[in-house]
Amino acid sequence: MSFKSGFVALIGPPNSGKSTLLNNILGWKLAITSPKPQTTRNRILGVRTTPEYQAIFLDTPGMHRSNNPLNQALVTVAVEALAEVDLAVVVMDVFYHRGDALEAVIANLKKVNTPVILALNKVDLVKKQELLPMLEDLATRRPWEAVVPISALTGLQVDDLLQEVAGLLPEGPQYYPEDMDTDQTERFIVSELIREQVFLKTFDEIPYSAAVVIESFREDEQKGMIFIEAVIQVERESQKGIVIGKQGQKLKTIGQAARKGIETLLGSRVYLGLHVKVAKNWASDPRALKRLITDSQKPGS
C-alpha cells in the first residue's frame, strides 16, 4: 500500500471543540481550551503519524462574523489556512448547528475547493432520537465528503473520523519524523498555557485584551529546574488591577495553575515569574495584531 499524507484544517465556529479534538487526536494537550469563545489565536500544527498515513492538523481560530479588529484578524488566520490544505474538517457543536454559526463557516468554504468533512461534536450530550434529525438537516447544507458524529472530549467515534480523514488524504511523503507531533516551540506552548489560565481565572473582559510574552526561558541543570519569566499584557490599568487581584492573589492563582501544566509539558520542576504590563489598545492596533497573530508555520516549511 502506498503512503498517504496531507494537511488538514480544523475549522468551525468559536468554542465548537476544535482544540479539544486536536488534543484528543494527539493524545496530549497541545492546544489550550476554555469555555470562552476565541481561545485559539494562532494556527497551531499537530501531527499524527501511522504506518499508513501522516495527517498534519492545523487548529485554527473560530470563524464568525465580527467588526472587531482582533476577531477579524483571527478569522483571516482561519480562512488563509483553508487555501493551503488538502482537506478541511468542520467541527460543529450540536447546540449551534443551525443559524449564523454554521452559515458563517459555509460562506467561507465557498471561497475554496477543498474537500470538507463535517464532525458534529458533543453528541454525547444529546439523546439519540435528537441526533438523527440534526444529521439529516446538516447533510442538506452542502456536499460534505462525510458527516461524522463525535465527542472530542470523550473520544467517541474520533477513530471513525480519522478513518475518513485518512481515506481522503492524497498519496505523499512523510513530511515530519514519526516522533514529532508538533512544530510549535516550547516557549510558544508555555505562553499559551499561561494565557489559558488568564482565560479561566479572570472576568470576561480580560481574556480578549490579554496576551502573553515569554521574556526568558532558562534551564539550570544543577538545580534541575527551568526558570521562566513571562509578561501578561493587557490594554488598560483597570485590567492590570483585575489580573493582579487583591494583594496579588489572582496573579498568584494564575501562576500556580499555569506552572502545573508547564511542569507536565516539560517534565521538569519550573519556576514561573509572572508580571503584568499595560500596552494601551494593542488589540485595535494593526501592527500589534500582526506581531501577535503569527502565521509562520507554512506547510512544508
pLDDT for 4 equals 96
pLDDT for 123 equals 94
pLDDT for 296 equals 34
Q: Can you tell me the mean pLDDT for 254-283?
A: 88
Ranking 63-67, 151-155, 280-284 by mean pLDDT, the lowest is 63-67
pLDDT for 110 equals 83
Residue 70 pLDDT grade (very low, low, confident, very high; cuts 50, 70, 90): very low
Q: pLDDT (tens digit, 9 = 90+) per residue, 13-38?
A: 877 888 889 989 988 777 655 444 44
Whole-number Cα distances in Å, 74 to 37, 142, 265 = 12, 24, 26
pLDDT for 35 equals 47
Candidates 163, 220, 157, 214; CA nearest to 185 is 214
Q: Look at the block and give the residue holding cell 481560530.
A: 61
Q: What is the reported pTM?
A: 0.65
Query: What φ, ψ does residue 216 adopt, rounded to 5°?
Result: -150, 150
Q: pLDDT (tens digit, 9 = 90+) per residue, 183-205?
A: 777 888 888 889 889 988 886 65
pLDDT for 77 equals 59
Q: Which domains does the chain have, with CATH numbers?
A: 4-168 (3.40.50.300), 186-292 (3.30.300.20)
